[in-house]
């Protein structure tokens, strides 16, 4: 909230949440698949990881904790644009 107030925006605007999340480790969002082509991680891919992640998808943020998605809708098929590992 403090960052959002300083930037005259709402807390769910990326101008507010990205500076806050910069203190956590960024995870690179592309990888090479079996055919040698780059592919984005999906939320479903991240569900195979252990730990706590905040994930930016198109127009939305979601959270995965130890393989479980915590959100109000099933966004598991969406591509991750940015991933932050919290712990």
pLDDT digits (tens, 9 = 90+) for 66-86: 999 999 999 999 998 888 888
Residue 29 pLDDT > 70:
no
Domain ranges of the chain: 2-85
Q: Which of 48, 51, 44, 42 is nearest to 81 (CA)?
A: 42
Q: What is the pLDDT of residue 36?
A: 65
Q: Which residue has the tokens 């949440």?
A: 17
Q: Which of 77, 84, 72, 70 is nearest to 20 (CA)?
A: 84
Q: What is the DSSP letter of 80?
A: P
Q: What is the pLDDT of residue 64?
A: 96
pLDDT: which is higher, 3 or 70: 70
Cβ atoms < 10 Å from Cβ of 61 = 16
- Predicted TM-score of the model (pTM): 0.78
């Amino acid at each position: 909230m403090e960052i959002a107030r300083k930037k005259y925006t709402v807390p769910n605007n990326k101008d507010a949440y990205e500076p806050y999340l910069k203190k956590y480790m960024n995870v690179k969002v592309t990888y090479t698949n079996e055919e040698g082509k780059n592919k984005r991680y999906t939320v479903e891919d991240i569900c195979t990881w252990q730990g706590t992640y905040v994930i930016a998808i198109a127009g939305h943020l979601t959270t995965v904790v130890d393989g479980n998605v915590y959100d109000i809708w099933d966004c598991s098929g969406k591509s991750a644009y940015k991933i932050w590992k919290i712990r």
